[in-house]
């Protein structure tokens, strides 16, 4: 990545996340817990807490195959209020036609960061009887959006008059088998078009160090901005649930034991402390460009974690939420004219 | 146990069989073309389906990439992934969706390490599946070039890799951790 400050033209998307990462600043993103509600205020309440301490907010796409407000709708609300979302798109629920349409629509609403995922299987969720789609896989999705962005066309070859400007993200999980394949899979994702990476929860720092060593040996650490996924554990029971029920989450026994030995009133505090320690450890690893905080149902802890990890203040104050969407729309239009 | 699993555990033998069959079909192409691809497909499809079903649990996607995926059928992955394992693999190396089944891609990667000819093709990008070729003979779609047709923008993409030219260096038998 180019460390010199590029002009607006040089940016892939011009998103705040891209600007921070390409300036070589340590980035912080956080996951918004999507509401089970039709009230937009619930999205804004959750976003307000996060926006003060992070550079971009991830809107999940029915993660764990559980239905919540859709990522595209959350992003619409967030961009309207001037927040910077990372829209997650999973291949589980939609085929290539629906996904390409959603990507265009999201870009039209001001979404500039897109995280391309395969998605948890339907069997992981509370409606396992649903049909799984998986028309594309995450690498197909990355390349498809890259084609839309860089070549200005759909997969059919039909032209897109104004291509979407998107900073493309992908996920990696270095903590599950086949371990030696994981860096090669990252290489495939970069080849397919990934500009940034958000990893699965990192609780096993030695494993992650080995992975990053392999990534550096392949010479691909400079070709992508890698954000490490972290999050607090509420208790040893929560940890046990996550590592047995949530696909792809690996938590070493030492961490579960440490929580188990902690008196119950202190468990949440220790869980937070473990998270802060992990951030401080991974920050020292070469090739790590930021962290991605996922605090499921513990949003109130995100600000404390980021502060205690010494990651405040964030570069540039986040814009204050704007209750009038029309102002934002005008700003967005002006923004696009500037870049043309 | 079954002849299928016995064969699947001999990926180098299978890649040589693939190579031979590929060579044979290319040689027979003028004959098959003379018979007519459609007519030939009616004859070839049933034995192809049975044979591949027994050995690979083939799902007849009609665009076979077995040799590039460790002689392991990617369509047997419950998520139909064509480019490698998802992040949901269990600690014991089993599938996220079917806990009793070993992850298709864990097996594919292990087998690719014993495949000096095609193993390194694991790192190549595979294009999206053309669902119109389902239930067709992959040998015939190979000869007619239909399995090479990719969506717009995907032309030549599967030949690219950001890794070093010599892919064999990325397939060491053991890791140092």
Domain boundaries, chain A: 27-312
Measured between CA atoms, the residue of chain B closest to residue A128 is: B97
pLDDT score for B164: 61
- Is the confidence at residue A299, as pLDDT, over 60? yes
Work out the average pLDDT over A161-169.
97
Token output for A156: 């059919």
Q: CA torsion, points B58, A183, A243, A226, in degrees to nearest 10?
A: -130
Distance from A55 to chain B by nearest Cα, in Å? Answer: 25
d(Cα A300, Cα A278) in Å, to the nearest integer? Answer: 19
Residue B132 in contact with partner chain A when CB distance is under 8 A: no
Residues 6+ apart with CB under 8 A from A263: none
Q: What angle do CA A27, A33, A39 make, to 5 degrees?
A: 125
Mean pLDDT of chain A: 90
The mean of the pLDDT values for chain B is 90
Q: Given 3.20.20.220, 3.30.230.10, 3.40.50.1820, 3.50.50.60, which CATH number is that of A27-312?
A: 3.20.20.220
A176 Cβ under 8 Å from any chain B Cβ:
yes
The two most distant CA atoms of chain B are separated, in Å, by 56
Would you say residue A336 has pLDDT above 50?
no
- Contact of A65 with B97, CB cutoff 8 Å: no
Instruction: Evaluate if residue A79 carries a pLDDT over 80.
Output: yes
State the residue for tokens 């095609």. Answer: B118
**Per the CB < 8 Å rule, is B162 touching A191?**
yes
pLDDT of B171 over the 80 cut = no
pLDDT of residue A9: 66
* Measured distance CA(B18)–CA(A22) in Å, rounded: 46
* Predicted local distance difference test score (pLDDT) of residue B172: 55
C-alpha gyration radius of chain A = 19
Of A137, A151, A157, the CB nearest to B83: A137
- Helix axis angle for A96-108 and A138-150, nearest 10°, is 50
Using the beta-carbon criterion (under 8 Å), do A155 and B105 form an inter-chain contact?
no
Mean pLDDT of B44-50: 94
Measured over the CA atoms of residue A143, residue A118, residue A1 and residue B165, the dihedral's sign is negative
Query: Chain A contact for B38, CB < 8 A?
Result: no
Q: Do A210 and B123 touch (CB under 8 A)?
A: no
- How many whole angstroms separate alpha carbon A248 and alpha carbon A202? 11
pLDDT of residue B150: 94
pTM score: 0.91
Residue B67: the pLDDT is 94
Q: Which residues from chain B sit within 8 angstroms of residue A153, using beta carbons?
A: 152-153
Nearest-CA neighbor of A102 among A137, A132, A75, A66?
A: A75
């Amino acid at each position: 990545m180019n460390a010199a400050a590029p002009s607006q033209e040089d940016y892939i998307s011009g998103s705040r996340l891209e600007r921070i990462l390409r300036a070589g600043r340590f980035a912080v993103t956080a996951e918004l817990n999507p509401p089970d509600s039709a009230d937009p205020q619930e999205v804004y309440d959750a976003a307000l807490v996060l926006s003060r301490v992070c550079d971009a907010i991830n809107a999940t796409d029915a993660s764990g195959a559980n239905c919540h407000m859709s990522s595209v709708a959350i992003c619409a609300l967030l961009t309207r209020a001037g927040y910077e979302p990372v829209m997650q798109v999973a291949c589980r629920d939609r085929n290539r036609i629906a996904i390409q349409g959603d990507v265009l629509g999201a870009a039209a609403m001001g979404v500039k960061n897109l995280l391309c995922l395969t998605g948890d299987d339907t069997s992981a969720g509370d409606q396992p009887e649903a049909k799984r789609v998986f028309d594309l896989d995450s690498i197909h999705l990355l390349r498809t959006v890259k084609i839309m962005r860089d070549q200005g066309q759909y997969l059919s070859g039909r032209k897109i008059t104004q291509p979407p400007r998107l900073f493309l993200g992908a996920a990696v999980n270095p903590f599950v088998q086949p371990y030696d394949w994981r860096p090669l899979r990252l290489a495939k994702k970069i080849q397919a078009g990934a500009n940034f990476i958000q990893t699965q929860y990192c609780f096993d720092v030695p494993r992650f160090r080995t992975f990053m060593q392999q990534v550096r040996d392949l010479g691909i650490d400079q070709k992508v901005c890698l954000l490490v996924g972290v999050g607090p554990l509420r208790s040893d029971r929560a940890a046990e649930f996550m590592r047995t029920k949530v696909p792809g989450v690996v938590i070493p026994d030492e961490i579960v034991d440490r929580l188990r030995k902690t008196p119950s009133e202190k468990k949440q505090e220790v869980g937070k402390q473990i998270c802060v320690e992990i951030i401080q450890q991974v920050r020292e690893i070469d090739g790590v460009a930021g962290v991605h905080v996922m605090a499921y149902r513990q949003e109130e802890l995100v600000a404390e974690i980021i502060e205690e990890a010494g990651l405040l203040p964030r570069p540039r104050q986040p814009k204050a939420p704007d209750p009038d969407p029309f102002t934002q729309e005008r700003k967005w239009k002006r923004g696009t004219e500037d870049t043309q | 146990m079954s002849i299928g699993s016995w064969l699947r555990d001999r990926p180098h033998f299978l890649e040589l069989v693939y190579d031979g069959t590929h060579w044979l079909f290319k040689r027979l192409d003028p004959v098959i073309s003379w018979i007519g691809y459609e007519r030939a497909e009616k004859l070839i499809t049933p034995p192809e389906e049975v044979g591949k079903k027994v050995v690979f649990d083939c799902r007849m996607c009609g665009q076979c990439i077995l040799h590039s995926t460790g002689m392991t059928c990617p369509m047997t992955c419950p998520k139909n992934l064509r480019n490698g394992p998802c992040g949901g693999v269990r600690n014991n190396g089993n599938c996220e969706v079917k806990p009793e089944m070993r992850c298709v891609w864990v097996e594919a990667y292990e087998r690719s390490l014993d495949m000096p000819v095609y193993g390194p093709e694991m790192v190549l990008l595979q294009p999206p599946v053309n669902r119109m070729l389902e239930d067709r003979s992959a040998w015939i779609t190979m000869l007619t070039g239909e399995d090479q047709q990719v969506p717009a923008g995907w032309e030549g993409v599967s030949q690219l890799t950001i890794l070093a030219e010599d892919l064999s260096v990325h397939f060491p038998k053991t890791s140092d951790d």
